[in-house]
Every structure is written in C-alpha cells, then in structure tokens.
C-alpha cells in the first residue's frame, strides 16, 4: 500500500490581499478566463487608486495639521494623489507652490502675529488693525482665486455675550462691502471652549463657542459674503445635533472642517462622529464649497488622510 502524502495547513501564514489576487489571476489564466468579467473585476480591484472617486465633496487639506510630517511640496503631492483640490490655511508665500500642483487655497488665514482666534472682532479696540489685515487677506485671496478668508469672534475678555455680538456685527459690516466687491467670503469660525487639554483641541474663553450665537451675528450682518465656518468637530463638542444644524445653517455655511472627537484625531472608528451622513446632509443643503480635513494625525498621516478623504467622498 502506498503511503498517503499529507499537506499540512500553513496556519501561521495568513493569505494577504496581494497573494489572493495573484492566486486568482493565475487561476483565471489557467482556466482560460483571463478575458472574462470575473478577471476584469479582479483587475479593477487590484488597480483601484486611493482617494476621491465620486468627487461630489470638494476636499481640502489643512496645512498646519500635517506640517510636522511633510514639507509644503510633500503636502501638495499627497493632496493631488488623493484627489484633493486645495491646501488651506497656509501662508500666501506658498501659494505659488500650490499653483504648480494645480491646487487652490480653500480658505486663507489673516496676517497677524500670534494665535488669530484670541484677538477678534468682539473687541472694538482691535478693529483698526484687524480690519486692515482682513482686507489684505481678501486682496491676496481675490488675486489668487482663494474663495474664503477666516475670521473669529475672539476671546470674551470682559465683554458680555450681547456686547461681544454687537461689536462683531459692527466690525463685520465694515468688511462686508469690501468682501462683496472682491468676491471673497469672510468665514466666522465657531470654536469649542470645552476642551482645555491642548490649545490645538479647544479654546477655553473663546466667545463664539456656539453655533446659534455665531449665526445670530451673521444674520444681523446680512451679507452674502460673511458666512459661517462650520467646524464639525467643534460643533459636535459644544452643540451636537450636527445634521439638523447643517440644514438649519443652510446657505450660510461658507466652509467646513473635520476631525474626530474626542481628541481631534483621525476620522476612524475610535471616535464618535459619523461623517458620511453629515457629508450627504451638506449636499442636500446645497453646499458646494470645500471640506477641509483638519485632524491631528496620531499614526501614519498618509493612511489617516487617505481614510478621511475616502470616508467623506459620498
């Protein structure tokens, strides 16, 4: 009697995705199916490129989050590979590099010293230099084709909510006509004041820390060129009810930011915000602006950005 050959299972060698497709391709060729629909599907899956595929959401990369990992050139390279159209909140001196890669800047910062969200429009003592800085950013943005310029209420200091709102309205009205003339939108960002663990994650003392408060200011200004920067991460922390708020803010949303909560990390399953239906709510509201990926990487930034871009590509 001949001895039977045994074929031990290789339990310690899991089949990789690459090995699977190599095996499938070899089997298809051996079986004469290389030109069949099955082979075509296998080849398409193998050749799938990461990043944007549907393109209904215009995506942007927020530069400061990745500046510790990549140079400006590298950030542009990663953005273009993933199908993003913009690098934002980056010094205007770098805009020629963006242009070289066919990218725009979705929203510009303002040329001021220090953190720009501390001294804002709620204090009339700052209006002189702040309005001039905002106008300068509007001019540069108009020349380059950047659609938005960021703005802030500032920290409360000694101003009541009513006084702060009144001062913001007066200040924004002074720049509204100029923004309208230049075709650039000034976007007031709502920031959370709850997270005091890190200055990049929360801003205790910031006055415009609720969506309704910021919307009341914007509605009082009444300009199509002064709108809301709807930061989903900050809104989730302070107000929640994100999808309903997207609908309520509607065409007053001028720009959008993302990040995972808690922690302002990646948009993965370790955080609580469900991004795909929020993106669909933005589309339903008629939003056609940019969504800036503004999370702080806690692991491989390329992987994290790829995941975020694909998640928001609804």
Task: Give catalytic status of residue 294 as yes or no.
Answer: yes
Residue 157: active-site member: no
Which of 88, 140, 266, 294 is flagged as catalytic? Answer: 294
Q: Is 278 exposed, middle or buried (0-12, 13-18, 19+ CB in 10 A)?
A: buried
Q: How many CB atoms lie within 10 A of CB 71?
A: 12
What would you measure as the largest C-alpha separation in the chain, in angstroms?
Answer: 101
CA distances, 81 to each of 70, 99, 103, 305, 313 (Å) = 14, 15, 12, 11, 15
Instruction: Indicate which residue of 140, 189, 266, 310 is catalytic.
Output: 189
Q: Which residue stretches of the chain are H helix?
A: 17-30, 37-47, 63-66, 72-81, 95-100, 127-144, 161-182, 211-221, 232-238, 242-249, 275-284, 301-312
Q: Kindly provide the b/e burial profile for residues 79-96, where b requires at least 16 CB atoms within 10 angstroms of the residue's own CB.
A: beebbbbbbbbbebebbe
d(CA 216, CA 249): 11
Distance CA 300, CA 104 (A): 25
HSE, CB side, 13 Å, CA atoms: give it for residue 86.
27
Sequence-separated (6 or more) residues with CB below 8 Å from residue 133:
110, 111, 112
Q: Is the bond preceding residue 44 a cis peptide, omega within 30 degrees?
A: no
Q: Which residues are catalytic?
A: 189, 294
């Amino acid at each position: 009697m001949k001895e039977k050959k045994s074929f031990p299972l290789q339990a310690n060698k899991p089949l990789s995705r690459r090995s699977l497709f190599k095996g499938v391709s070899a089997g298809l060729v051996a079986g004469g199916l290389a030109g069949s629909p099955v082979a075509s599907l296998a080849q398409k899956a193998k050749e799938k490129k990461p990043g944007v595929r549907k393109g209904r959401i215009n995506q942007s990369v927020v530069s400061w989050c990745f500046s510790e990992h990549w140079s400006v050139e590298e950030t542009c390279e990663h953005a273009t590979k993933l199908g993003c159209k913009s690098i934002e909140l980056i010094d205007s001196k770098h805009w020629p590099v963006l242009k070289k890669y066919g990218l725009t800047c979705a929203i510009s910062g303002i040329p001021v010293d220090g953190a720009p969200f501390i001294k804002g429009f709620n204090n009339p003592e700052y209006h002189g230099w702040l309005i001039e800085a905002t106008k300068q950013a509007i001019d540069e943005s108009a020349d380059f084709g950047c659609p938005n310029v960021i703005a802030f209420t500032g920290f409360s200091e000694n101003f009541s909510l009513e006084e702060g709102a009144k001062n913001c309205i007066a200040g924004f009205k002074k720049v509204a006509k100029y923004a309208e003339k230049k075709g650039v939108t000034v976007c007031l960002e709502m920031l959370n004041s709850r997270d005091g663990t890190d200055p990049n994650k929360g801003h205790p003392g910031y006055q415009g820390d609720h969506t309704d408060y910021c919307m009341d200011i914007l509605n009082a200004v009444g300009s199509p060129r002064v709108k809301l920067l709807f930061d989903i991460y900050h809104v989730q922390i302070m107000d929640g009810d994100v999808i309903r708020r997207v609908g309520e803010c509607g065409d007053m949303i001028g720009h959008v930011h993302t990040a995972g909560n808690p922690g302002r990390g990646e948009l993965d399953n370790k955080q609580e915000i469900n991004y795909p239906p929020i993106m669909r709510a933005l589309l339903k509201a008629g939003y056609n602006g940019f969504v800036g990926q503004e999370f702080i990487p806690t692991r491989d930034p390329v992987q994290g950005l790829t995941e975020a871009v694909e998640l928001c590509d609804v």
